[in-house]
């Protein structure tokens, strides 16, 4: 076992990187576990236009790479690997990084929540090129364009309604003709004349990988079997997120969907374990809110360690 760390930060997205900048500047020599997605969700997108400080926008991968560079400047150490198990029953906590155990006085969980995708062959290749899981982030790119939203829950209703501000039309595609969405959200969406409803419908394919942008989709009516192509410019998934909290099930309080339950500020129910970013936030899910949460978690760590005499 290596020497006990002051703080381990799990995740290299906006939350983890920002926590690393603050913890690094506080002289805590943080260890950042990069995880399966180096740089987090922004690493799979292109233009980011809403992160303050970049009047002309910035590419997602550049933004997270800059954050990592900034954290390393202050002594943050980044290691490739994934946390596959943890023992948070006593301090120092024990964290397994691909089977190798490491002790730490504090832990910041900034492991994000991965968007659910449909799993279509072309989908992943078109993320950031017309395929998106975030209407707030990417809606403004589709002014007067044809937009499609997939899903039947509250977020699908919210995203479709929001996207009518931009698109010339918004088609909402849902596999069934009943909706999980609450009545109020559904009624609001139904009252919006810009939303066209495609129920009992599945998406079989997205085009056009050769052009490097979304130009259309292949749809199938699940009741009649009718198959057709439809022109689309922006394709938005709203079928949920999966919080990356598997190693902590049974060790910290999670809500029924697996998101960390906050005990105020950045605190979890386990003293010395803090949360940051989308792994706890099911509402805002933005780069800037994740970065802010990373800052909060690092400040809490710093004060906790100070209080403990470290």
Ligand X SMILES: Cc1cc2nc3c(=O)[nH]c(=O)nc-3n(C[C@H](O)[C@H](O)[C@H](O)COP(=O)(O)OP(=O)(O)OC[C@H]3O[C@@H](n4cnc5c(N)ncnc54)[C@H](O)[C@@H]3O)c2cc1C
Query: What is the contact surface with ligand X in residues (CB under 6 A)?
Result: 10-16, 33, 35-37, 40-42, 44-45, 48, 50-51, 82-83, 110-112, 115, 127-128, 132-134, 137, 244, 247, 277-278, 285-288, 290
**Closest CB to ligand X among 19 and 203?**
19
Shortest CB 263 distance to ligand X, Å: 18
Shortest CB 71 distance to ligand X, Å: 13
Shortest CB 153 distance to ligand X, Å: 18
Q: Which of 9, 261, 246, 218 is nearest to 118 (CA)?
A: 218
Question: Active site residue: 137, 233, 278, 281, which one?
Answer: 137
Has 14 been annotated as catalytic? no
Question: Active site residue: 14, 138, 233, 278, which one?
Answer: 138
**Closest CB to ligand X among 237 and 305?**
237
**Closest CB to ligand X among 278 and 302?**
278
Has 134 been annotated as catalytic? yes
Question: Active site residue: 134, 154, 204, 205, which one?
Answer: 134
**Closest CB to ligand X among 42 and 172?**
42
Shortest CB 45 distance to ligand X, Å: 4
Active-site residues, by number, are 134, 137-138
């Amino acid at each position: 076992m290596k020497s006990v760390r002051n703080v381990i930060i799990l995740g290299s997205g906006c939350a983890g990187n920002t926590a690393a900048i603050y913890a690094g500047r506080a002289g805590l020599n943080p260890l950042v576990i990069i995880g399966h997605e180096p740089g987090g969700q922004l690493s799979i997108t292109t233009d980011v236009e809403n992160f303050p400080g970049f009047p002309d926008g910035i590419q997602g991968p550049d933004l997270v790479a800059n954050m990592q560079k900034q954290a390393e400047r202050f002594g943050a150490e980044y290691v490739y690997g994934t946390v596959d198990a943890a023992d948070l029953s006593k301090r120092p906590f024990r964290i397994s990084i691909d089977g190798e155990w490491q002790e730490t006085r504090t832990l910041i969980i900034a492991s994000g929540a991965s968007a659910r995708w449909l799993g279509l062959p072309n989908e992943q290749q078109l993320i950031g090129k017309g395929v998106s899981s975030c209407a707030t982030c990417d809606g403004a790119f589709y002014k007067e364009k044809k937009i499609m939203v997939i899903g039947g829950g509250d977020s699908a209703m919210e995203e479709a309604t929001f996207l009518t501000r931009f698109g010339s039309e918004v088609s909402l595609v849902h596999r069934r003709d009943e909706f999980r969405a609450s009545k109020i959200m559904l009624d609001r969406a139904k009252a919006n004349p810009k939303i066209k409803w495609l129920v009992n419908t599945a998406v079989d394919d997205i085009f056009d990988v050769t052009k490097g942008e979304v130009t259309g989709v292949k749809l199938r009516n699940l009741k009649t079997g009718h198959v057709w192509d439809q022109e689309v410019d922006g394709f938005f998934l709203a079928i949920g997120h999966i919080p990356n909290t598997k190693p902590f099930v049974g060790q910290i309080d999670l809500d029924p969907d697996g998101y960390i339950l906050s005990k105020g500020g950045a605190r979890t129910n386990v003293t010395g374990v803090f949360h940051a970013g989308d792994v706890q936030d099911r509402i805002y899910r933005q780069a800037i809110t994740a970065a802010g949460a990373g800052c909060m978690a690092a400040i809490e760590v710093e004060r906790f360690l100070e209080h403990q005499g470290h």
